[in-house]
Structures are given as structure tokens and as C-alpha cells.
Amino acid sequence: MVTLLTEAQRRRLLPAETGLPPLPVPSRIVSNGEFTPPRQSARLRCYERTMLERARGDAGWLRRPAAMASAFSALNEAFDAPHFRVGESEASDEDAAREARAAAAGQFVFDDQVHFLKDDADPELFLPLTSLIELSAQMLGLGHAGRFKLDDIKFATFLKDIYLDSDTKVALLSGAPSETEAGWMLTNDMMAAARAAVNDAAGGRRLLTHAVLAPGHPGWLDEVDRVHELVRPEGWKGYSVGEPFSPSHHRWRLDDEALMYPAYERMVRAGVRNFCIHKGLLPADADVLMPGAEPFAKVDDLGRAAKDWPQLNFVIYHAAYRTIPQPTEAELERFERSGRIDWVTDLAEIPAKWGVTNVYADIGASFAFTVLTHPRLAAAMVGTLVNGLGADHVLWGTDSVWYGSPQWQIEAFRRLRMPDDLAERFGLPDLGPADGPLKAMILGLNGARLYGLDPDDYARGGVETAHLDGIVADYRARGGGPSNLVYGYADPS
């Protein structure tokens, strides 16, 4: 089974896309089935109540730029601290909010981790996503006639959420392996087909793809050779914990010379330099749900592999942030006392310990979790990575569309501030303004360099964006806008 949640657990949870208020920034952490969603915190309950009062039943207002700015002012109130920058008139003046939104929209944003689901996905295997079918069909105006396939809805939702409703300029499509053929989210060939379809429609390179590495599976090295010859991916993606949704028979270490080094040799020979590895993100009860996974989720296998293979870039997804959906009390206490963030700090220390420059961190999903529940921890995570890896080695990712359109995450990152006490006690850097050099590097420039893109080509009217820019402008002129939906399971309490 792809979901780790039991049938009994699923019965007591809410479908997030129909059970939660459609706020500009989610008011709860939603699970895609990889973990049990937590109860809504008192602070997020306060934020939700404030936003619903401000909306006064006007769902249309919740989709406007002023509501997004208002959401971050409400979060500042809920957390009793100015974690997010909000302009004086942004939250109250719709024209000012719209102007600020339009000014930011041209920033180059490269999302190095996005998803959707294949067309022949078995609903019984992908239970966290099946409740989207009817709702998404209505949202997209597809009507009720006929039977909808998951990919018909997921791909349409993907296009809307990523390209129409967010400032994302380029995205990197990802997937995950499975112990069974039916359990793959997308095959390597399906990702390539999606890349071709999106880029043809957009008139430029707007979607890149991983190929998914499955070490130990029958014929896996032959698949590496085939993919290099026929699929030509921009990078590889691997899960050292094996299948991410259940106990796996195929777990591996990055520094396993016998198993992994032949694959690295093939990557180098093919000129595919970027190897992205899922690390961290273990459920709090991983010992029960994924027994034996923890040793393979850590980053203690990274240093030697990076040292031995300087020709490759090792991109650690989720910045190896340890516990989902939120840190334990012990982890929070340790952070507040010492500044250390479990496994994130370990990752940040690798370049100094091993003398390497080819280690990168993606903050996808980890940022989404922490910025909602502990904004100061989110800021500290980014600052820790910048100090250890360098500002040019931290990458933007959102793990969308599992968490809805990535725009709320983009807005949160642009507005996020480093708390003064963390900067003073632990030497963490100022994150700067939304268009400052540090945030510009993380949001897009670093990814552009790593994947051989020229951000100037994606400026308004540029050759890579002219056609899609027209589509987006027409969509918004006709009243198109974000749904504010997030997808998966939510705790009802």
C-alpha cells in the first residue's frame, strides 16, 4: 500500500480539500498519507479564526492578493512576533496588494521538486489522492459526465497550481519508486512525456524531469543506461530509505561502493551531474510504520560519496530535516538551547568536515512544515544551511501539488525574517528582503545555475516565457485565480 495510514485512521480524518476552509495560507498541516496529520495548534486555530472573521463569508476575498498579505499579518498576530514582512497598506488596500503582487511576479522562481500522479494509478493504492477527483473536476469546469482518471485530474491540477496560480517559472518533475510496478507515481517515460507536453504548450523549457533511481531492483542498472540514452533526464532522484510509503526491501547507502558507484559512473559518463536524494522526513512513529528506515534516512553516508565523486552534485532533498509533520518537544528544546536542528545541522557541517563543494540542500516540504508550525525554526533552518553550505548551495522546492499551489510557500519565504535573538545567539544571517540577493539565489538563481538555465531568458517577454505569459495573463483577465485548496488528510480536532 502506498499510504502508511490504516483504514481506521483514514476514517477519522478529514479530506483536506473539502473539510478545511480555503485560506490563502493553510491553517493546518495536511498529510498525503506518509504520516499522521497533527491536531491543529492553538496558534493556527487563532490564525484561522482571524482570517474567517476578516473574510466575513466572502470566499472571493480569500483568493485576492490582499488576503494573502492579510494572512501573514494574522500569522504574526497568532505567533506574537513579526516573523513575516507585511507592507503597511498591503493587507487593507486591494490596489496596493495587487501592485505588490505584480511587482514580485517577475522574479525567477525555480521549483526543484513537484509532483502529479500517473493516469493508470490504482485508486486503492493512492487513497490519499482519490477524493480529489470529483472536487477537481468541478473546480476545473470538467463537468460530471464520464469517468475521470486520476491523471486527467492531477495533471490538470498540476498545470493550474504550478503555472497559472503561482510565480513559478520552471519546475522539476519528480517521482518515487515502489516495490511494485503499479505503485510508481510516474514512470521515467511518463515524466519525459509530461516534460514534452508542457514545454510544447508553453513554448519554452518550463518543465524539467528527474529519472527515478531504484537501486537493487531487478535490472536497475540496465534502466539507468536506457534512461540516459532515450529519456535524457536533467537529473536523478533516489530514496535511500527505499519505497517512501511502506517498509522496503531495497534500502541503500550513498557510500556503498559495490551497489552505488557503478550508477555514479554511468551518470558521469552520460553527463547527468545532479543526483537528488530523499533524506529525513521520518514520521514521529517511524519505528512502527517504517521499521529499520532511520539509518538510511540520515546523512552520515554523504560525505565520503561526495568526496569520491566530485563530478556529481549531491542534492539532499528536504534538507534532511528529521521529523514530520513537526519536531518533537525534545528536538525543539535542543534547537532553542543549542541552535542545532536534527540532521539539518549535520548536513550543513559536511562541506567543512569533508572538504567538498558538491553538496546542496533542497528545502522542499521541510520549509512548508516548519513555516506553518514554527516560523523561527524555518528561518533558522535556512540560515543554518546558508552558513554551512553557502548561500549558493541552497535550493527552492515545495513538493507541490501535494500541498496545493506553491504560491503560499513562495510568499512565506519572501516575507520570512530571521528572529533577532537567533541571529545574535547562533550567528545566523539576515535573510533580507524578498528581492534581496540571498532570497533571489535560493528561490531560483541557484537552481538555474545547477540545471543550465539562463534566468534572463525567463524575464517578461523573454523567449522562454512569452507564450506562457500570454496564457497566464488571459487566464487572470478572465477571473482565474487560486483555489486555495490543499490535498490529502487533515485532523478534524
Q: What share of the chain is helix, strand, coil (3-state, %, to 5)?
A: 45, 10, 45
DSSP 63: G
Query: Using an 8 Å Cβ cutoff, are 439 and 414 in contact?
Result: yes
15 beta partners = 489
| Terminal alpha carbon distance of the chain | 26
- Name the DSSP letter for residue 404: S
Other beta carbons within 10 angstroms of residue 248's beta carbon come to 21
- Structural contact between residues 104 and 86, judged by C-beta atoms closer than 8 angstroms: no
Does residue 205 sit in helix, strand or coil? coil
The DSSP result for 307-372, as a single string, is: HH-TTSEEEEEGGG--EESS--HHHHHHHHHH---TTHHHHHTHHHHHT-S-EEEE-TTHHHHHHH
- What is the distance between the alpha carbons of residues 95 and 97, in angstroms, rounded to a whole number? 5
Query: Contact, 4 vs 283, CB < 8 A?
Result: yes
The answer to whether 489 and 15 are in contact (CB under 8 A) is yes
Q: For residue 456, with 0-12 CB atoms within 10 Å meaning exposed, 13-18 middle and 19 or more buried, which class applies?
A: exposed
* Total residues belonging to the chain: 493
Bridge partners, residue 324, by sequence: 283
Is residue 107 packed enough to be buried (19+ CB in 10 Å), middle (13-18) or exposed (0-12)? buried
d(CA 216, CA 199): 33
For residue range 251-301, what is the model confidence (pLDDT) as tens digits? 999 999 999 999 999 999 999 999 999 999 988 877 877 888 899 999 999
**In 167-294, at which residue ranges do the beta strands (DSSP E only) sit?**
170-173, 207-213, 235-239, 274-278, 282-283
pLDDT at 368: 94
The DSSP bridge partners found for residue 170 are 110
Taking the C-alpha atoms of residue 465 and residue 467, their distance in angstroms, rounded to an integer, is: 6
Q: Low-confidence residues of the chain, pLDDT below 70?
A: 1-4, 117-154, 182, 245-247, 460-466
The predicted pLDDT at position 454 comes to 93
- C-beta of residue 303 within 8 angstroms of C-beta of residue 354: yes
- For 214-234, write each residue's pLDDT tens digit: 999 999 999 999 999 999 999
Instruction: Tell me phi and psi for residue 187, to 5 degrees.
Output: -80, 165
**Side chain identity at 94, as an amino acid letter?**
E
Q: What are the residue ranges spanned by the domains of the chain?
A: 7-105+483-490, 110-128+160-456
pLDDT of residue 370: 95
Q: How many CA atoms lie less than 13 Å away from 319 in the CB half-sphere?
A: 34
Contact indicator for 403, 165 with CB cutoff of 8 Å: no
C-alpha to C-alpha distances, 116 to 153, 184, 286, 401, nearest whole angstrom: 9, 11, 25, 7
381 touches 321 (CB < 8 A): yes
Fold of 110-128+160-456: TIM Barrel (3.20.20)
Tell the residue number behind the cell numbers 558507484, with chain if given: 261
**Number of CB atoms found within 10 A of residue 288's CB:** 9
* Residues in contact with 81: Cβ distance below 8 Å, sequence separation at least 6, in sequence order: 375, 376, 419
